A and B are shown apart, each in its own frame.
Chain A
Amino acid sequence: MVRLRHAEPVMGTVVSFDVDSAFAAAVSAAVRWLHWVDGTFSTFRADSEISRLGRGELAVGQCSPEVGEVLTACAALTAQTSGYFSVRAGGSLDPSGYVKGWAVERAAAMLTSAGSPAHCVNGGGDVRCTGSSPRGGDWRIGVADPLHPGTLALTVEGSDLAVATSGIAERGRHVLDPHTGLASQGLLSVTVTGPDLAAADAYATAVFAMGYPGAMGCRGEHGWSGAGYEVFGITADGGTWQTPDFPAARAAQGRPG
């Protein structure tokens, strides 16, 4: 089995594919999909449907059906997270905290539909793996250590697993607390694992927005049940915390050298 590795610059980042080379055509279709999502949902493009919708030039009904689908899903996630996930955290319409994970989840599903039994798609740090790894057994997903660039904080193992991380370095922007409009404090990164990357991406954004120590209560006082989803956080002083069933393979190893 020859593996195909493809890295596609799109959505302001790079989406990496790891799949059997027999499914190259499906990768091409997934890449076209990602570029369509970029053109439709980018808040950096004044002529995207989401930008025009945000300015009131379009109604939801005049947009592509996917726009309404995304906004409906975002509204449900806002309700599930006591408002900590919001498409208007910064004032203007911006569903980016959901769209990237959603787009990558769909791209991975396209590979599955084409018959690929095992693949991994990484959308700029938000990872969806399907089936078992090319080595056999679980996929191994490293979680980057924001305090020590180039090293991993820990490794997550699993098959059919989504891993999303929100952090302060995210495209050079801060994650805002929708309730205050201010930058979230106290956390360097939040990683959420679970069955669906779209939800995991939104949950990671929401838990990060709660700040620290508030995020430690994400399961209870903030009203998010997050069934099936697990959380790992790194605080500003380098401390870590995680929910009991977070699928960590092992603690971080020392810096190589």
Chain B
Amino acid sequence: MRRVILAVTGTIAGLVALLGFRSHVPSAAPLVSGTSPGTGTAGSGASASASALPAGAHTVDGAAANTVYGPVQVQVVVRDDKITGVNILEQPHGTVNDLQIGQFAFPKLISETLAAQNAHVDAVSGASYTSAGYITSLQSAVDKGA
């Protein structure tokens, strides 16, 4: 479970960094509101579906991280101590910039969190990324998820 919590924290940190708000990442890691297996999430009016969970899976909500663009909150689906899915409970909306974040960066960060975690790699070799491209690179996910 600790790995899962770290992954949630890493995802939130990644999102916050993506929003150009690194200096305001809370010094204490965002707390995870614990849920027992199979209970899904309660409250918060989450639209992300916890209703179609596969057998043996449960969800864990990350705490909302406040950014200048608004609160960001993600939920991970856990099965056999592995993250099998990530839902966005809350994300900024209302501006063009936010639209880009929602449509592009969120799905990409999610898939990279999953890919890096599932493979259990220490580093990723690949064609060079630019310093701007690093944030959405697999290595970035590895660095944050350690």
Contact = CB atoms under 8 A, between A and B. Distances in A.
B124 A100 contact: no
Given A150-B108, A256-B115, A167 B126 contact: yes
Contacts of A122: 123-125, 139
A125 interface: yes
Given A12-B131, A16-B139, A256-B118, A5 B146 contact: yes
Given A124-B134, A152-B115, A163-B123, 14 more contacts: A14-B131, A16-B143, A125-B124, A125-B126, A125-B127, A141-B121, A144-B138, A150-B138, A151-B111, A164-B125, A165-B126, A167-B127, A171-B128, A257-B85
Interface in A205-257: 253, 255-257
Q: Is the interface of A mostly helix, strand, loop or mixed?
A: strand
Interface in A129-166: 129, 133-134, 139-144, 146, 149-152, 155-156, 163-166
B51 interface: no
Contacts of B114: 256-257
Nearest to B145: A5
A120 B126 contact: no
Contacts of A13: 128-131, 134
A196 interface: no
Given A5-B146, A7-B143, A150 B126 contact: no
Nearest to A126: B125
A170 B125 contact: no
Given A152-B115, A165-B127, A256-B115, A14 B122 contact: no
Contacts of B137: 14
Interface size class of B (residues with CB under 8 A): 20 to 34
Contacts of A16: 123, 139, 142-143
Interface of A: 3, 5, 7, 9-10, 12-14, 16, 18, 100, 120, 122, 124-127, 129, 133-134, 139-144, 146, 149-152, 155-156, 163-172, 189, 191, 253, 255-257
B124 A124 contact: no
Nearest to A143: B125
Contacts of A12: 128, 130-131
Nearest to A124: B128
B124 A7 contact: no
B111 A189 contact: no
